[in-house]
């Protein structure tokens, strides 16, 4: 299978070398940097000459551009804080040139505070990451953008490892931007933040993740993740209320 690995970056000097090393077997690696001020581009150039710059216009735009630069029939899209595991690599390399589908869902295994999370609704968290370039499009979302393909989709067993939040600091460094984007997306869809959203949605989020999604099986880290995620929901809807001019409303 002819594959281009594509990655978008912004100040990822701590992650990019391990990410690119994990896809060194791909025929081509394409990196699109969106304005890094650290050594991200310098490090990336040690792995591939295909390092491009792109003004930041959102995740969907950056990934669409990266995919457009790929020259292989198939694209493997991953984030700079993700790694292709040996098992996933072996599974991909064993695929036939024409597997009879247009893409494959890949499980994402997240690291949180030093623990691999296996529940909480976070794992396996399948995402379409390996797909035929022709016909593939990105969903135009501010956050949690995804890929669409025109045909059938298969599923792989080997995971991508996501070094998402190795420390509390790393979680809250991303927190303001992610809650801003999530609230803005709701606002653009005409949503208004009600008293229910602010008072009860965070609680329901915690109960769902911790009990229904078995977060308690992930130990103390699972408890903390569920609590942080509940706080994320609270802040998202408070920010939405601000965008609504401080007024609430029904869903």
Domains along the chain with CATH numbers: 3-164 (3.90.550.10), 167-243 (no CATH)
Mean pLDDT in residue range 93-117: 96
**Which of 197, 100, 208, 108 minimizes the C-alpha distance to 159?**
108
Model pLDDT, residue 139: 86
Model confidence over 111-132: pLDDT tens digits? 999 999 999 999 999 999 999 9
Q: Which contacts (CB < 8 Å, 24+ apart) does range 189-192 have?
A: 191/240, 191/251, 192/240, 192/241, 192/244, 192/247, 192/248, 192/249, 192/250, 192/251
pLDDT of residue 98: 92
Spatial separation of the C-alpha atoms in residues 241 and 245, rounded to whole Å: 7
pTM: 0.92
* Helix residue spans in the chain (DSSP H): 16-21, 40-44, 59-69, 86-93, 168-188, 195-199, 201-207, 219-243
Nearest alpha-carbon partner for 117 in 21, 208, 224, 23: 224
- The encoded tokens of residue 164 equal 């998402």
Rounded Cα–Cα distance for residues 192 and 243 (Å): 9
**With bands split at pLDDT 50, 70 and 90, how would you rate the model's confidence at 247?**
low
Q: Is 228 helix (H, G, I), strand (E, B) or coil?
A: helix
Give pLDDT tens digits for 69-83. 999 999 999 999 999
User: Is pLDDT at 250 greater than 50 in this prediction?
Assistant: no
């Amino acid at each position: 299978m002819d594959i281009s690995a594509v990655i978008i970056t912004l100040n990822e000097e701590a992650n990019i070398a391990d990410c690119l090393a994990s896809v060194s077997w791909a025929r081509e690696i394409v990196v699109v940097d969106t304005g890094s001020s650290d050594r991200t581009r310098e490090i990336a150039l040690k792995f591939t000459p295909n390092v491009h710059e792109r003004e930041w216009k959102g995740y969907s735009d950056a990934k669409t551009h990266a995919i457009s630069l790929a020259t292989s029939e198939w694209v493997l899209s991953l984030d700079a804080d993700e790694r292709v595991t040996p098992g996933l690599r072996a599974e991909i390399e064993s695929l036939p040139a024409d597997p009879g589908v247009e893409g494959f869902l890949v499980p994402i295994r997240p690291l949180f505070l030093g623990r691999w999370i296996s529940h909480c609704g976070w794992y396996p968290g399948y995402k379409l990451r390996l797909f035929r370039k022709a016909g593939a499009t990105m969903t135009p979302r501010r956050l949690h953008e995804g890929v669409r393909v025109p045909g059938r989709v298969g599923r792989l067993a080997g995971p991508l490892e996501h070094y998402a939040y190795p420390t509390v600091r790393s979680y809250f460094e991303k927190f303001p931007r992610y809650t801003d984007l999530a609230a803005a997306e709701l606002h653009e869809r005409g949503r208004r933040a009600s008293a229910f959203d602010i008072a009860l949605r965070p609680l329901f989020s915690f109960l769902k993740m911790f009990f229904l999604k078995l977060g308690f099986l992930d130990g103390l880290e699972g408890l903390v993740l569920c609590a942080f995620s509940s706080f994320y929901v609270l802040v998202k809807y408070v920010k939405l209320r601000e965008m609504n001019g401080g007024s609430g409303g029904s869903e």
